[in-house]
Amino acid sequence: MSNVVKLEPVEIGEGFRFDPDELLEAAKGVGFTTLVILGELEDGTQWTSGSANTGETLILIERAKHNLLFGEDD
């Protein structure tokens, strides 16, 4: 039988955002084998870029979504 875990998002602070440039700078040299960058521009447009094909990118996004929701790696 599986356990159902209620999603309880943790907020750092109302309206707080990490600096995108600092996050990207910190990611340099980490040694990624596959990378996806998702973002939203000021006008609401979604921006997506990645280092793999569409299928690999989608799998990485789904694995990340699972990790965000359930807090565990595959």
Tell me the pTM: 0.66
The answer on pLDDT for 5 being more than 80 is: no
At a CB cut-off of 8 Å and minimum separation 6, what does 69 contact?
7
The answer on pLDDT for 32 being more than 80 is: yes
Residues constituting the chain: 74
CA–CA gap between residue 41 and residue 49 (Å, rounded): 13
Q: What is the pLDDT of residue 73?
A: 63
pLDDT band at residue 12 using 50, 70 and 90 as cut-offs: low
**Contact indicator for 36, 60 with CB cutoff of 8 Å:** yes
Taking residues 49-69, report their average pLDDT: 92
- Measured over the CA atoms of residue 54, residue 56, residue 60 and residue 63, the dihedral's sign is positive
Q: What is the pLDDT of residue 53?
A: 94
Taking residues 36-56, report their average pLDDT: 94
- Under DSSP, is residue 55 helix (H, G, I), strand (E, B) or coil? helix
